């Protein structure tokens, strides 16, 4: 049998595929093998202010990179945005670092043309995750730059508390609750075992911003999310567990069925938290309820917002048990917490 001749474009594709197969398991991939794709971000680049479009944008990129079987370089095109919040920036970083693909995708960012947004982006700590080239990065003392991890980081939690105390004019004792919140969030993320089927590997990210009257905090983890965790709890509990503890029965009554809306699962987790175990060890009043109670009961935090799964919950400042729920058509991969701490002296900056 003679040699099969492949000509023109088919030959180029054949050679390229052979090279891809050769380099797939290697650390360094020649730049020539990468195909470039650009994705233009929505003009309002924010999960809080524009959750539907922003989530659709990211999921389009995640789904593409997860299924494509070639080396690609993805550009996040932020050039035309006119509104941006840090939650979208963090999620962009999370995707670029933790996307689950055998083809080692590369990512870069086209910064906003708007000078204010460009300055905010470049001062947020993004240069630690993307190559900024020759662009001058300016430090901003009012930002606690984006940090990440996959384990509980006591020193980082203390640093955020120090940042808060310095800028709010309080002592270490004041931020004890904040320290507990951060440790709880980090620990929850660290307890999620990595599943090779997940589109994004599990990691947490934190950012804080000081302003004239408040400090804003954004914490994002790319774990399985609160609704999924709560749903798994309900499906694994035995009849014995329910009969032992009426508390579990009261939680079950919040569920229409195992396919309950993510908002019901999320709100149940925030209000009731985990469950009693068979060893009678109680976790009531800790975990998610403790985070929520700092807003709802203690009023130590303000403007609490939580995104997880297919819902965004924004809590009313006056009636703090009231949640304004936005059901999303697509899922947020993980959980986002946003909250604020107000300053008594509005001029502390």
- Per-residue model confidence (pLDDT) at position 132: 61
C-alpha–C-alpha distance, residues 269 and 186, integer Å: 17
Q: Strand 143-149 and strand 106-110: pairing?
A: unpaired
- Whether 275 and 195 map to the same domain: the answer is yes
Q: Which residues, 6 or more positions from 298, have their beta carbon under 8 angstroms from its beta carbon?
A: 177
Complete DSSP assignment for 252-286: HTT-SSTT--HHHHHHHHHHH-S---TT----TTS
- Whether 323 and 334 map to the same domain: the answer is yes
- Per-residue model confidence (pLDDT) at position 223: 87
pLDDT > 70: percent of the chain: 74
Lowest mean pLDDT segment, chosen from 27-31, 77-81, 120-124, 276-280:
276-280
pLDDT > 90: percent of the chain: 54
36-50 mean pLDDT: 97
- Whether 107 and 181 map to the same domain: the answer is no
Examine residue 2 and state whether it is found in any structural domain, yes or no.
no
- Whether 197 and 213 map to the same domain: the answer is yes
Chain centre to alpha carbon of residue 346: 30
Q: Residue 28 corresponds to which tokens in the numbers above?
A: 């360094």
Q: Which helix (H) or strand (E) holds 342?
A: strand 323-342
- Per-residue model confidence (pLDDT) at position 261: 81
Residue 226: count of CB within 10 angstroms of its CB: 25
- Whether 82 and 207 map to the same domain: the answer is no
Q: Which residues, 6 or more positions from 296, have their beta carbon under 8 angstroms from its beta carbon?
A: 315, 320, 321
Q: What is the pLDDT of residues 198-238, one digit of tens each?
A: 677 889 999 999 999 999 999 999 988 888 887 777 676 66
Question: What is the tally of structural domains in the chain?
Answer: 2
CB 205 within 8 A of CB 338: no
Q: What is the chain's mean pLDDT, rounded?
A: 82
- Whether 108 and 56 map to the same domain: the answer is yes
- Per-residue model confidence (pLDDT) at position 281: 38
**Which residues are paired to 72 by β-bridges?**
35
- What is the domain range of residue 170? 142-349
161-188 mean pLDDT: 91
- Whether 189 and 295 map to the same domain: the answer is yes
* CATH number of the domain to which 336 belongs: 3.30.565.10
Examine residue 8 and state whether it is found in any structural domain, yes or no.
no
Examine residue 280 and state whether it is found in any structural domain, yes or no.
yes
- Whether 200 and 220 map to the same domain: the answer is yes
Examine residue 250 and state whether it is found in any structural domain, yes or no.
yes
- Whether 171 and 293 map to the same domain: the answer is yes
Write down the pTM of the prediction. 0.84
- Per-residue model confidence (pLDDT) at position 98: 87
Examine residue 7 and state whether it is found in any structural domain, yes or no.
no
**Which residues are paired to 315 by β-bridges?**
323
CB 72 within 8 A of CB 37: yes
279-298 mean pLDDT: 71
Examine residue 19 and state whether it is found in any structural domain, yes or no.
no
């Amino acid at each position: 049998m003679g040699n099969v001749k492949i000509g023109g474009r088919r030959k180029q594709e054949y050679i390229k595929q052979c090279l891809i197969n050769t380099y797939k398991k290697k650390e360094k991939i020649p730049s020539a093998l990468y195909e470039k794709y650009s994705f233009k971000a929505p003009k309002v680049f924010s999960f809080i202010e524009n959750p539907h479009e922003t989530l659709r944008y990211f999921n389009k990129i995640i789904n593409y990179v997860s299924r494509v079987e070639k080396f690609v370089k993805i550009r996040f095109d932020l050039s035309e945005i006119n509104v941006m919040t840090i939650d979208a920036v963090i999620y962009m970083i999370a995707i670029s670092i933790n996307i689950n693909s055998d083809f080692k995708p590369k990512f870069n960012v086209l910064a906003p043309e708007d000078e204010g947004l460009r300055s905010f982006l470049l001062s947020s700590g993004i240069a630690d995750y993307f190559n900024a080239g020759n662009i001058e990065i300016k430090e901003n003392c009012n930002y606690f730059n984006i940090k990440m991890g996959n384990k509980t980081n006591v020193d980082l939690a203390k640093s955020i508390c120090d940042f808060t105390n310095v800028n709010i004019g309080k002592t270490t004792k004041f931020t004890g609750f904040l320290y507990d919140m951060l440790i709880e969030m980090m620990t929850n993320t660290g307890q999620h075992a990595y599943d090779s089927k997940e589109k994004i590997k599990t990691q947490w990210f934190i950012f804080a911003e000081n302003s004239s009257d408040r400090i804003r905090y954004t914490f994002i983890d790319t774990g399985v999310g609160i609704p999924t965790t709560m749903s798994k709890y309900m499906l694994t509990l035995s009849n014995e567990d329910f009969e032992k503890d009426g508390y579990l029965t009261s939680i079950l009554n919040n569920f229409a069925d195992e396919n309950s809306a993510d908002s019901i699962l999320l709100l149940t987790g925030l209000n009731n938290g985990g469950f009693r175990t068979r060893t009678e060890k109680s976790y009531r009043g800790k975990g998610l309820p403790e985070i929520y109670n700092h807003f709802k009961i203690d009023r130590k935090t303000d403007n609490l917002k939580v995104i997880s799964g297919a819902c965004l919950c924004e809590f009313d400042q006056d009636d703090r048990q009231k949640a304004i729920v936005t059901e999303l058509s697509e899922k947020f991969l993980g959980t986002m917490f946003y909250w604020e701490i107000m300053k008594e002296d509005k001029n502390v900056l």
